[in-house]
Structure 1
């Protein structure tokens, strides 16, 4: 069977009539990774089509997450509410209410820990019925098995109460939620099942260890590789979910190839990921917000670099890359190599520009680097004294000018500053200045000597020398408002930057460049990322709209690094007016990826599953 790819789908697709939709995902009311963004962001558009009474989400109940995400129901009169009450009577720890996100969808949450006393029995039947052997003492697999058992029981009760006389569509996302699928099929319940894999686990492991992963795909023995990486139970759950679904889907054609070879089933349909663009939309404020948040990044850069040496902030651009720490998969190795080449080119042409490149990822660390924190605190002291001087001079200058009996003479501003403040400022500046180079990493890492990013920077001598045109700041933690270095959240930091860089070697979809686009920020990705592959196939003149796609399919590492350095170099040489125009075009282009447009592929899957 051929996969139906996005460009083959007609513009308008109606949802199936007389149907109820349940979406089941491990990340409902449980923020873990990218699927949380997929589910949460499309809720408003789904409710607009289906109505609040025909759409339900199912996820796990974890008290710490539920406290922030879940609002318990007071009305249990709906069929789903009654089913929840019946399950509670049977001893299940199940919750019914609303998810506190845009659209306020109805959710049913199951506490995995509440059936841990049955885990042995649950695993026994998983082996007996589906030949999937789950190991003992694996925390994640134990929770997944317990959650899956409760979801299956929930649907079994719904169908036994006559609820399934309507069309019930159950859409399962990713292997953590997919374990009920073979059970629903075995019991022959009247449930229309869609399963979406957002990435194959085995594919992620293989890509991390094989730079020619896609070329070797047809030749892998999935069982042998899953055993080698000690992930066989998870791969078996993925395969059982894919084969048990009436309609099997994934997020990109690249991942579709993985599914064919590693899961043994070709997806029926591609469901590209969208965003709720309205959450990012600021219209004519794009440039104003960029300037506001860029000033906050300036504050960090001045504190971090200017104690050693200074450069012109008006001729400085901020690049950034972010995501989980997968050195090869996320293209950090390629980004670093390209930055080193860009640095050399800018030095050779004696460019007046400076690039500050931020690496935002998560690594084990002990604490913030004391020198970095001290520098930040010291420049804030300098700033406070300058504010005191400004206030004192302003007040005294106003008084002197207005009391000069009409004889206007511009006063000597130096005479208006108290010696106390002069001395205070001088001492603060002296304490702040240093002869050391600015740090390339903001935290004290647990395993500094083996960190691949740091080892590259040291080997390439890209260590923030005064003569370097490319400076690097490696921040091994995600950015939030509680962060003392930046004092803003991640989305604000993105808006303050100029260019996002995400040239992934393996990326089933890739939300980061799409989030950049929605924030009015151009970005670079690769055609081995689902998003980049989609853009290269479906959007004309993508570079003019702020979507740069690097070719990683047909070029070796050296050629690709050169191409990436070229794109960066062209961007650095843009005028400010050109960058502003590109920022507006980027935000406008993001509308293509709104769920109001891409949601039609999900509707196509639901029609397909009803017909089957």
Structure 2
């Protein structure tokens, strides 16, 4: 496809604005887009007042089509910034402060209603923000397509309803612009899946208008439907979401555009096994600080499982994971297997702070480490001199080399650390601890980190980062240090978490109700051989799916160390199947379709 005489503008709410998974889509895809489109590619995102992102670098070179359109907008008194997004590929980016549009927001809303029947009477701050940004994007595209700005054909690609309002307006104005709209998850699908049992079975009978009013999301749904139906090409990220779209937004997508990753960011070649060991040792330090004040277990015979993602309790499969882990705990206890599993539940919940006792335990453990380091240094030096001067060549008593000061200090530190209190299930003080679904589920199953439990729980209601004093590592490093990621989603249009595991060389559990799992089933038929465990949730009830997942986890626990190493090798080798270098072809298929119409 010849793109030299074309311009592509890609618009998303999460350009330079990390909110959820679409940020990962846009950011990771950027290098492949720049490679294909070169200087003819630019991204557009929102700029919030006084929040210029650190990853944006402004330019003073406006001598291209995008720059000329930006200057035209600035002459209208609009705040628009042009520069580079400091991520891989360094794509051109335009950030728009939409606050000035608020002065005439009612006028913009009126035309959305009169021309496109998009009802925005009910107040919603996010809807107002997206409409204001959409108006600025519309103006920009209008200026970009004007004579004197560029002689190239203009194409615009919009992601999700938050930037959907320009599409019906472009069609109404008959601007010389071809549009592509991608929905990553339908608005109603997400709400219905959380509320209605057997969502996929009742889907054909859903009255979209009734449900949109019931959930109070009518404006969002109307924007999504208008964008979907008025775009020249409509795409979504998986076959399973395409089925939703046909019913809930009224149009069947022409192209499925599965999400990938910039695999080069994860590639470690022969080092990935060493990295697993390095980061596992960091997790070991956390586990020692968290558990060993009460009791200890053999870290050489311990496996680290984790589940993570946005807090959608049922949709993300937190519920079934906890029930399966409870069953796994019983299976391991009954079998007498000499292994321990630590399950990390990582999500984002309102918290006051990290639990003070958790911090104190970690701090005292570090004091124990420092004391032991000092003793080791003292013993090492004295052992060397004693051995050199020792005439009878006998092994001296190492205890004699330690000063009473260090012996007493170590004893006192250990006494202040060791106690009978069970290790804490949750690492933070939750704002609404009494009603937290995860905590209450764990309590109902009596999963409280008892010494006899073979499965231990660490509920971490905050995202892991290098500034976190409990872990001191980035999330992707944490993933590499674990042994298995568990993501048995009930509703997940795509699902980046299992994909991130594969890119890191870590086996993962996914489900056939996620877009990622659906893609794996279609294109990697021997998924388990590739380290991807597929939980079949469609047409299976909750109890059966829970027991199946528990059996999967129990089988994994019984693997030998050599078998786990072999599996990580296979997983790492399969990661290329999910590289944007390969998957970008699906987006190019969508662009080819609009080019063919010209």
Q: TM-score, normalised by structure 2?
A: 0.98
Offset of 1:429 from its aligned partner? 0.5
Is residue 37 of structure 2 the alignment partner of residue 50 of structure 1?
Answer: yes
- Residue in structure 1 matched with residue 46 of structure 2 by the alignment: 60
Matching residue within 14, 17, 21 for 2:8: 21
- The partner residue of 1:551 within 517, 520, 536 is 536
Q: What's the offset of the Cα at 1:156? A: 1.0
Q: Does 1:606 align with 2:586?
A: no
Tell me, yes or no, if the aligned pair for 1:15 and 1:49 is still in contact at 8 Å.
no
Distance between the aligned counterparts of 2:51 and 2:90, measured in 1?
16
Task: State the SS of the aligned residue for 1:482.
Answer: coil
Kindly report which structure 2 residues correspond to 1:406-425, keeping only aligned pairs within 5 A, or say none: 407-425=392-410
Determine the C-alpha separation between the residues in 2 that align with 1:511 and 1:316: 26
Tell me if structure 1 keeps the 8 A contact 2:182–2:236: yes
Q: Partners in 1 of 2:437 and 2:401 — Cα distance?
A: 54
Asked if the contact 2:351–2:428 (Cα under 8 Å) also holds between the matched residues in 1, the reply is yes
Q: Classify the secondary structure of the residue corresponding to 2:53.
A: helix
1:104 and 1:555 map into 2 onto residues whose CA distance is 45
- CA contact under 8 A between 1:365 and 1:444: conserved in structure 2? yes
Match of 2:557 among 564, 568, 572: 572
CA deviation map 1:366-385 (0-9, x unaligned):
22222211111111111110
Q: Residue 431 and residue 15 in structure 1: after superposition, are their counterparts in 2 closer, same or farther (change >3 A)?
A: farther
1:260-307 deviations in Å (ceiling 9; x for gaps): 110011111100001000000001111111111111111111111111
Q: What is residue 254 of structure 1 aligned with on the other side? A: 240
Does the 8 Å CA contact 2:341/2:455 hold for their aligned counterparts? yes
For 1:190-229, what aligned pairs fall within 5 Å after superposition? Answer: 190-229=176-215
For residues 290-337 of structure 1, what are the alpha-carbon distances to aligned partners after superposition, in whole Å with 9 as ceiling and x for unaligned?
111111111111111111111111000000000011111011110011
Shift of 1:535: 0.2
User: Which of these residues, 307, 321, 345, is aligned with residue 307 of structure 2?
Assistant: 321
Q: CA deviation at 1:540?
A: 2.7
For the residue of structure 1 that corresponds to 2:534, the secondary structure is strand
Contact 2:283–2:478 (8 Å) recurs in 1: yes
Deviations 1:373-403 (A, max 9, x none): 1111111111110011011111111122223
Which residue of the other structure, out of 464, 470, 473, is the alignment partner of 1:485? 470
Matches within 5 A, 1:65-464: 65-135=51-121, 137-163=123-149, 165-404=151-390, 407-464=392-449
Distance in 1 (alpha carbons) for counterparts of 2:148 and 2:169: 19
* Contact 2:484 2:506 (8 Å CA) reproduced: yes
Decide which of 510, 513, 533 is 2:495's aligned counterpart.
Answer: 510
Query: Are the equivalent residues in 2 in contact too, given 1:15–1:606 (CA < 8 A)?
Result: no
CA distance in 1, matches of 2:237, 2:149: 31
Deviation of residue 174 (structure 1)? 0.5
- For structure 2, the residue ranges without an aligned partner over 5 or more in a row are none
Alignment of 1:467-478 (within 5 A): 467-478=452-463
1:408 & 1:569 partners in 2: Cα distance?
A: 52
- Superposition deviation, residue 64 in structure 1: 5.5
Distance in 2, Cα, partners of 1:115 & 1:49: 34
Q: Secondary structure at the match of 1:160?
A: coil
Aligned residue pair count: 597
Higher RCO (Cα < 8 Å, 6 or more apart): 1
| Distance in 2, Cα, partners of 1:364 & 1:517 | 30
2:180 and 2:231 in contact (8 A); partners too: yes
Distance across 2 between alignment mates of 1:391 and 1:114? 65
Tell me the SS of whatever aligns to 1:520: coil
Once the two structures are TM-superposed, the CA of residue 103 in structure 1 deviates from its matched residue by 1.1
In the TM superposition, residue 66 of structure 1 has moved relative to its aligned partner by 3.0
Residue pair 2:342, 2:455 contacting (<8 A) in 1 also: yes
Measure, in 2, the Cα distance between the counterparts of 1:66 and 1:235: 30
Larger mean CA deviation between 266-275 and 73-82 belongs to: 73-82
SS in 2 for 1:74: coil
**Cα deviation, residue 111, structure 1:** 0.6
Q: 1:164 to 1:440 in 2, by over 3 A?
A: same
Q: TM-score normalized by structure 1? A: 0.96
Decide which moves more: 552-561 or 365-374: 365-374
Would the aligned equivalents of 2:494 and 2:514 in 1 still touch at CA under 8 Å?
Answer: yes
Deviation of 1:161 (Å)? 2.4
State the alpha-carbon separation in 2 of the partners of residues 187 and 336 from structure 1: 53
Please say which of residues 128-137 and 559-568 is displaced more in the overlay: 128-137
Q: C-alpha distance in 1, partners of 2:287/2:468?
A: 15
Cα deviation digits, residues 470-494 of structure 1 (max 9, x gap):
1111111111111111111111111
Which residue pairs with 2:486 in the alignment?
A: 501
Contact 2:45 2:96 in 1 (8 A): yes
> Structure 1 residues 595, 65: CA separation in 2 closer, same or farther (over 3 Å shift)?
farther
